[in-house]
Amino acid sequence: MSPTPVLLDADPGIDDALAIAYLVAEHHTGLIDLTGLVCTAGNVGLDDTVRNALAWLDLAGAHPLPVAAGSAGPIEVPHVVTPETHGPRGAGYADLPTTTRSTDPRDGARLWVDAARAHPGELVAIVTGPTSTLARALELEPALPGLVRRLVVMGGSFLGHPGNTTPVSEWNVDVDPEAADRVCLAWEASRAADPSIPPVLWCGLNLTERAVWTPGRSERLLAASDAPITRHLTDALRFYFEFHQSMGDGYLAQVHDPFVAWLALRPDSVVSSPANLRIECSGGHTRGMAVADVRGHRGRVDNASVAVDVEVPGGVDAILDQVSAAIASLSPRA
């Protein structure tokens, strides 16, 4: 099997950093070809997401790959960051090294389009931040839904599961609801014209909040590897533990992004429901809500597969075991 081409669009971010490390490890195994990394303003501002992405790639010993700066904020509203969640610069307590790696001259939206066109029908695209850059890529290339093999988004909250940003909204979608709704409309229109185009796999908090990283898991990771990447990741995670504790979740970390990255490479492991998904953009109390029509009330084309569970021996913890083992296999950049 030739490696599956993968593009990651992220807002590093602490759990994004775990996703980056995990995908670099899977690149090294030959499972995937990590073809590019797009940075989008989300957890922190764009400059910090780019700085963090470059540093995490260096620490992971990543191959040369294009890293492009995408949207500096939402497509219509001002950007809101969350320093209390990921730290003032998005890396928690990790004191990231400076990097020799440089960014690609292309804008993130252009990198999206170039990556999709370079691998027509083969690219697995993963979004673990706001969809602001993807929305602009869809303006550049409206045929993007038909060019990617599948799009997997960490976003939304489904089945009545509460939001983590408002009572009904999840952070990635809440930052830029207009962008997320444009993604929904683009896939709806493309699937209406060509039903062979796969729906977007949306992985929301109803499932991703089950991906719990504990201090014990950090200790086991450090015991397995004292490489700089593991030391910096566990430093970053300590901040995330304190944030979750402050929210009453306990001294732990919900690591949404590496969990979704693993699922994106193994979609057969996901139990999902077809739906027509739209994002509420104007509701006074419901802005940012992911409204999945699973019963066909709207009479619109299904544009989404909403993840509701995983079918993996050992469940979510077994997936995190694999993510952790992959990260432990990384070595410092030569």
Does 169 help bind ligand RIB (rule: CB under 6 A)? no
Angle, in degrees to the nearest 10, between helices 132-140 and 177-193: 40
How near is the Cβ of 194 to Ca ion at its closest, in Å? 30
Residue from the set 15, 33, 107, 188 that interacts with ligand RIB by CB under 6 A? 15
Does 165 help bind Ca ion (rule: CB under 5 A)? no
Site string for Ca ion, 84-123 (x = CB under 5 A): ----------------------------------------
Does 43 help bind ligand RIB (rule: CB under 6 A)? yes
Does 51 help bind ligand RIB (rule: CB under 6 A)? no
Spatial CA neighbour of 331 closest among 24, 97, 4: 24
Longest pairwise C-alpha distance within the chain: 56
CA angle 12, 17, 39 (to 5 degrees): 35
Binding residues among 125-164 for ligand RIB as defined by CB under 6 A: 128-129, 154, 164
Does 13 help bind Ca ion (rule: CB under 5 A)? yes
Does 129 help bind Ca ion (rule: CB under 5 A)? yes
How near is the Cβ of 41 to ligand RIB at its closest, in Å? 11
Does 13 help bind ligand RIB (rule: CB under 6 A)? yes
Angle, in degrees to the nearest 10, between helices 14-29 and 228-246: 140
Spatial CA neighbour of 101 closest among 39, 47, 58: 58
Does 73 help bind ligand RIB (rule: CB under 6 A)? no
CA separation for the pair 240, 83 (Å, rounded) = 11
Query: Which two tokens mark 243?
Result: 């944030």
- CA Rg value for the chain: 18
Binding positions for Ca ion, rule: CB under 5 A? 11, 13, 16, 128-129, 257
